[in-house]
Amino acid sequence: MKQRGISFLLNSQITTIAIVIIASIVYINYYFSKEVLVKKIEDGAVNQSNMVISKISRITVGTEEIAKNVSVQALYYFKNNDLDFFLQQVLKSNSIIESIHVELIGTDQKQLLKFSSNKKGQNICNPDSLAAEKFIFDLRSGHIKLAQGIWSAPFFCRYDNSHLLVSYKMPIYYPDSKNVAGVVSCEVSLSTIQRMLAEIHLGDHGYAFIVDHTGNYISHPRKDWILKRNLYEKASSIFKTNRQEIESQIKEGRSGAGLGISEYPNNQAAWLYYAPITNSGWSVIIVIPEKELFNELHGIFQKIILVSVLGILILFFVNIFVFRKMLDPLERITHAIQRFSSSPGKEQKSKNEIKMLAESLENWQEKYGLLIKDQSKTASDKIKFDKDLRSAQEIQLNIVPSGNPNFLEYPEIDLYAMLKPAETIGGDLYDYFFIDKNHLLVAIGDVSGKGIPASLFMAITSTLIKTHAKRLSSKDIVRRVNKELSDRNSNQYFVTLFLGILDIRSGLLDYCNAAHNYPYILHADGTLQTLSKSHGLPLGIYKDKTYKSSSVELRLNDLIILYTDGVINSRDADKHHYGADRLEKNIQNLNDLTAEEVVKKLVKSIMIFEGQGHQADDISLLALKYLNKTENQA
């Protein structure tokens, strides 16, 4: 009974552990297999969409090039009475377009001289919605300012309501003049694009369709939905999660994926992928039913679970048999160990596992002594390293100026800055100083990487900025700093940098942004402006790179905020990013505060957002408020 109870207990424990392990393995395999499958399907959809987008882009770009070439040469052939022949030759040598139309302004400046050429056996389907007369009128009156051309909305041919086309219009200008001489229209059939989509194979019931920039369906397996359904209408929306965010991404020409409802064919749950088509304002939507997506995976794991259950049952009964056999000689083994341990003075050469374990423990005791000795030396080395690291941190903090400068002689300026490294030392930098009595230089940068190498590169950058700050041109300073950083940058580090020079008399800020985060200006009336111009690559990459600059005028009580990407990349415990949207929202609530209050409130909001999360990147913030001198003195 005793042996039977022990064997049952051991068997139950081992079987329970085996069930937990197998269940965990099955679940983990299912979870990651599902992720891999989704990723593989998404990659396949991306590849398919990229292929279609590439083909469609070749059509759109080719059409634009044809229209451009015709617009340049149309007047010449018209003067030589060969315009009709020229259009026929262009149409014959370019299969992607169905017809070409040229409308030239007559000598009376009112009548249009029209020339058209179309594929043999087809009617000319010029759209009424973008008539040449209105297009030319809008160009000449300045209602639209167009240097290139414009794509029309899709339209059905007036002679064939099943024939969907799109037109690209290009203005014709008189030589060496901005005066409009006419317009070129090239028509492209969308049936070619529809055939491309029909060739995409996405399982048994997956499909793809195209919408234009307003959300209208311009291709779909259901032909009666074309130009009659809209992706953004609530009644026909196919997205069930993050709908507004996904629709915003599609409108902005971004790609992504999500879950939704496939209206075609039978309103079933589906996975969707969307991506923009270059030069057209259209987007491709790929739809795969969710049931079909994981059907094969579910079948495989049902078989795995069945086999696992059968294996556990076999393991349970085999263990009962084995344990009963093993426990039978347990008592004799125990007596043998007792007899062996009762005569410790007698050396016996044996392969007994217990004696081998004892000998191993003796060897380990000797090794343990050596390990303790090594640990003591390692602890001493660590103390020295920590001391050196603290010294490096003190040196770095002495490189950047005080976060709260005392500009008593400059009441026009209220400035405050803060640097918070992710590690003991980091690669962020900020700087400010007066080049002369009227010009204040402010800079903020972010070196690639962290730790000691990044801090050394930061120190070199800061020194070079001061070295070349004799000029009152932001782009010249950046260019010279980049040249010297590139000369001595064997480890291929780089730094993003925003550098501005403020004329405190006029409030004019001349700035150069070398791939750094866009600063914000909080105006006194509460409006928020983004300095969304980048003037070149990060510093330290290309030695002879030239940079541009821009300027902006700071008005009374305007506040400019500079920051590094450690601010927007801060993450909470769920790995969600702080983000630019949250930063902009918080800045808009900081009106009528001093520069120091602004920086401290932003840092506090970041710390609250991170919670118990670990700071992943260096954080730097600099706020500069342009004050009225009289008010500051008062």
Residue 351 confidence class, pLDDT cut points 50, 70, 90: very low
Residue 582 is predicted with a pLDDT of 94
Same domain, 434 and 370: no
317 and 410 together in one domain: no
Contact at 8 Å (CB) between 520 and 509? no
> Could you tell me if residue 392 is inside a domain?
no
Q: What average pLDDT score do residues 141-162 get?
A: 71
Mutual angle of helices 191-198 and 2-79, in 10-degree steps: 160
C-alpha distances out from residue 201 to 49, 54, 191, 331, 514, Å: 11, 17, 18, 69, 44
pLDDT in tens, 197-237: 777 766 677 788 888 888 888 888 888 888 888 888 765 56
Q: Do residue 378 and residue 432 come from a single domain?
A: no
Alpha carbons 337 and 343: distance in angstroms, whole number: 11
- Which of 366, 387, 408 is a domain's end point? 387
Q: How many domains does the chain have?
A: 3
- Based on the domain organization, do 377 and 312 belong to the same domain? no
Prior bond of 265 cis (ω within 30°): yes
Considering the domain architecture, whether residues 469 and 591 belong to the same structural domain is answered as: yes
Looking up residue 260, the CATH number of its domain turns out to be 3.30.450.20
Distance of CA 586 to the CA centre of its chain: 22
202 CB neighbour count, 10 Å cutoff: 20
Containing 561, the helix (H) or strand (E) segment is: strand 559-563
In a domain, 517, yes or no: yes
Weakest-pLDDT range from 352-361, 375-384, 446-455, 469-478: 352-361
Residue 291 reports pLDDT greater than 60: yes
Sheet containing strand 439-447, edge to edge, reads 428-436, 439-447, 495-503, 508-514, 550-553
Q: Are 464 and 481 in contact (CB under 8 A)?
A: yes
Spatial contact of 170 and 71, defined as CB atoms under 8 Å apart: yes
Together in a domain, 408 and 380: no
Same domain, 411 and 291: no
Residue 344 forms part of a structural domain:
no
For 273, phi and psi rounded to 5 degrees?
-130, 135
CATH code, domain carrying 510: 3.60.40.10
Q: What single-letter DSSP state applies at residue 389?
A: H
Task: Give the count of beta carbons closer than 10 Å to the beta carbon of residue 578.
Answer: 20
For 186, phi then psi, to 5°, come to: -115, 125
Q: Residue 486 carries which side chain, given as an amino acid letter?
A: S
- Lowest mean pLDDT, pick from 217-221, 258-262, 522-526: 258-262
How far apart are alpha carbons 518 and 447 in whole angstroms?
Answer: 16
Give pLDDT, residue 253. 83
Domain match, 303 and 443 both: no
pLDDT (mean) for 453-472 = 86
Strand partners, 184: 102, 170
DSSP 170: E
Number of other residues whose CB lies within 10 A of the CB of residue 54: 11
Which candidate, 551, 393, 546, places its Cα nearest to that of 479? 546
pLDDT in tens, 104-148: 887 666 656 777 777 666 666 655 444 556 676 666 666 566 666
Residues 70 and 217 reside in one and the same domain: yes
Domain span at residue 201?
1-334
In a domain, 345, yes or no: no
Q: Is residue 394 part of a domain?
A: no
Domain identity same for 126 and 23: yes
Among 137, 76, 88, 96, residue whose Cα is nearest residue 116 = 88
With 90 as the cut, is the pLDDT of residue 555 above it?
yes
Strand duo 150-151 + 155-157: pairing: unpaired
Cis ω for the linkage preceding 175 (within 30 of 0):
no
Q: What percent of the chain has pLDDT over 90?
A: 24
629: helix, strand or coil: helix
Q: Is the domain of 364 the same as that of 424?
A: no
Note the Cα 330 to chain centre separation in Å.
65
Mean pLDDT of the chain: 78
Q: Residue 226 domain-assigned?
A: yes
Of how many residues is the chain composed?
Answer: 634
The least confident of 260-269, 431-440, 464-473 is 260-269
Q: How confident is the model at residue 383 (pLDDT cuts 50, 70, 90)?
A: low
CA distance 187 to 220: 20
Torsion angle defined by CA atoms of residues 525, 530, 531 and 534, in that order, rounded to the nearest 10 degrees: 180
Is 342 within a domain? Answer: no
DSSP-derived 3-state class of residue 99: strand
pLDDT above 80 for 413:
yes
- Judge whether 288 lies within some domain: yes
Are 365 and 471 in a shared domain?
Answer: no
